[in-house]
Chains A and B, each alone.
Chain A
């Protein structure tokens, strides 16, 4: 056995008493094996990795338990001895390749430094070895790139450099902490392939920490599922994914959106309760029909382009312009959901913000409920946008931390109806909180007293406050754990059904899109490359890029 963790318990002393981050965690790892460590935020999965390498964040400490690496006990070893082990016996790969490298030194310098430290060799020999390493992790023209600085590499290439740095001391165990989370899907799978190759060829044991079941399904040999500091289930990847024994694992897996088939609702998740059940009947009573001219098309976008000035011209010279969105067109029929998918930087969020009026389009027309938003005075456009609201990605920044929840939800009502409507606005706010399952009493609290999923519910309540019937959802669940995501997506579906809402759903997550959307636009570099009915797209993608995206998306079962 390569690595043996038994009864590992880690505690963090804090103002409110001791917090137990890990409770009697027992795991084993063989050479050449990839052990997936999966769990939602706060499960303690990163803490396991940090404990193994002896880099627990202060003031955390190992309360009891053993970590044995080929017979050597690691817990309680003095820092100078741990220093000798790091890199040489245990290596680590972090999540964000953008910040993992020293920006002021060349990649080669950083490699040589590490190699000379572990191999006790000359600079010449280290250089040769470093170039070998760079080639083996798939960096082309390694001899030339040796002298480049980190900022001259792309994100995926940087993560390769990070991997080279982690394995150049020939460690027996590598801890990879969310190694692909910060990367785009297309890069993600190549990095996962690389990690698997390294383990097989070098006989390295790897603990792969991740929140993503898809990543686990793709590379892990065995999986350990963690929940609130405890390992609830360990087993072969296939067995865990197909026949989970523990209730938590069952609800976790059922909450993962499936890319292979569309289901009406996510199965009810009983193990994790984030909020009460929504009370939808009450909502309908206060719902107002959309104002103005009616049409079957809720939103129509024609040849819309959006530009950003990247370098302002001062004299004569033309300003440099970046076209974030290039003449896109789509319609969303009333009561349906249109999805926009694409990798980061594809322009999908820009579209959402332009429709919402935060950016101005350079060309094209946007029509909401049959009324133009672009060919109207600022004042009119503002009035017409009252039927439109937005739900944002980041639950931590989308609510003003200095306002009470009730004020946050009441604000749009007060703004439209004036101070006189204060009592009514407050009552509506409490009702809405009930409706999204938080309970009216939640209104007296501040946003920081809620979890991420609960905050997204507050966001939804705010979007519904003025009776808007068109809602833009900009990656509304990508910052959430899967179980919370499932609940929230269910809530959105229910609301849509009850109220006939029209949704524009922006996401990078194909399975989520399949579950939520009627039609999908696939975007790449500001252009819609394919627009298709969802089921048809997933069944037979036409454009090469759509095919690539679908092929690369991690699948739970293969």
Chain B
């Protein structure tokens, strides 16, 4: 137990030291979402139709960015061997690392989401809901992503494989999260889709560490 917890604390520190941690995905998220008006036109009506959906896709893709290095660095420098050879369960390691990286990157992503929301003509009074939705959604994106990250940890061009493997797993969160955002934007009832999105995130947190651990044991084998 102390093993997983110390790994969690270490990863949190490592994610922020040397390389800015969240800066790159956050920058990508902002830049990708800002492309929307150039593609769909700057009429308020168009933006209100496309905005929440495009923002949600940009969040999913931004969450994929840190996945390539999530386990790769530890595999390359032997840290994963040291963890595995010491009798601490890989599930705990996978959970600790994914959670730490979500805190380091997922939370910053969620906190700039409302800025993009307002830029894309979303109603400002829903800003708190947008933060909440992005927190819940990015949890699912990070945890399902960790499966792909673990599977592709030993690959040189792992990023593309991770995307191909992971995106189908993003479909439920994509549907429920975007539906909740559209409901909020239109002043409708976002309760049901938001709850379903939350359920999918919980399922991801509960199951993906096991799949990731299996893949990591395969990677060091």
Are chains A and B native binding partners rather than an unrelated pairing? no
